[in-house]
Amino acid sequence: MAHIGLVAHDEKKDDLCVWAAHHKEKLSQHELWATGTTGGRLMAATGLPVTLLKSGPLGGDQQLGAMIAEGKLDMLIFFIDPLSAQPHDVDVKALTRLATLYDVPLANNKSTADAVLAYL
C-alpha cells in the first residue's frame, strides 16, 4: 500500500476529480492524503476515503512537504494550473522542490499521473 498525496489548483480540481474517479479502483488500494479543499472534492466525486490536511494556502502544501521530508509519502499528484498566478506560489515551489529533493515521484498533469500510478 502506497501513501499518495493529492492536491490541485482551483482551476484543476475538476480535472483531478475526473482523473481520480477514472482510477478509483486502483486508488482504493492505497492510502490517500490531500489538502483540505482538494480532498473534500475528491471524496465527494469518488467516495474514496481521504485523510484531509489543511487547505493549501493555509498550510496544507507545507504539511504534504513535511510528509515527504519525513519519508511518509510515496508519491505526489499535484495538478498545477500553469496559466494562473497563485498567491501562495512560494509554498507550491517548496512542495515541488521537496518532491524533487527526496526523489518522490511527482505528477503535475493527467498523463504523468497515469504513468506514475501505473508504476505502482
Which residues are catalytic, by number? 61
Q: Which three cell numbers mark 74?
A: 510515496
Q: Find the farthest-apart pair of alpha carbons in the chain and give their distance in angstroms, rounded.
A: 35
CA distance 45 to 113: 18
Beta pairing, strands 106-107 & 75-79: parallel
